[in-house]
Amino acid sequence: MLGNHDIGVALAVKDLEKAKQFYSEVLGLQIEKEIPEGGGIYYKSGNSYALVYPSSFAGTNQATYAGWTVDNIDEVVKELKDKGVAFEHYPDFPGVTLEGDVHSWNGQGKTAWFKDPDGNILAINEM
């Protein structure tokens, strides 16, 4: 039923203007639509959308909110680091090795995690 449709993600933030700078300028997402009176911003990413909206609960989730699949994770990590993004390290995953900022899943893929200004955990993946 839903498998034939694009999926979207909703990311809660405390400061919408600060988030706008991060998602637009640092991550390079294009604004699709802004909701009036600071209600949020829709970003287009590939064929899907992300809603970034204000909430007092921003940054309280301790799990990954959203992720992107890329062709060359090392290149994307470098580009993001050049823009000041700091990466998270989770060395305790079973069967995972940490190479710089990239976690390698026994040859099954790679992941790098980082946080937005509100602490939302985001990921980039190479399969």
pLDDT at 40: 96
pLDDT of 1 > 80? The answer is: no
| 69-122 tens-digit pLDDT | 999 999 999 999 999 999 999 988 888 999 999 999 888 899 999 999 999 999
How many CB atoms are closer than 10 A to CB 18? 13
Instruction: Tally the C-alpha atoms within 13 A of residue 63's C-alpha that lie toward its C-beta.
Output: 0
pTM of the model: 0.90
CA dist 74 and 46 (Å) reads 20
- Contacts of residue 124, defined as CB under 8 A and 6 or more positions apart, other chains included, come to 67, 68, 69, 70, 73, 76, 77, 80, 111, 112, 114
- CA–CA separation, 31 vs 77, rounded Å? 22
Of the candidates 6, 120, 113, the residue with the CA atom closest to the CA atom of residue 54: 120
At 59, the pLDDT band (50, 70, 90 cuts) reads: confident
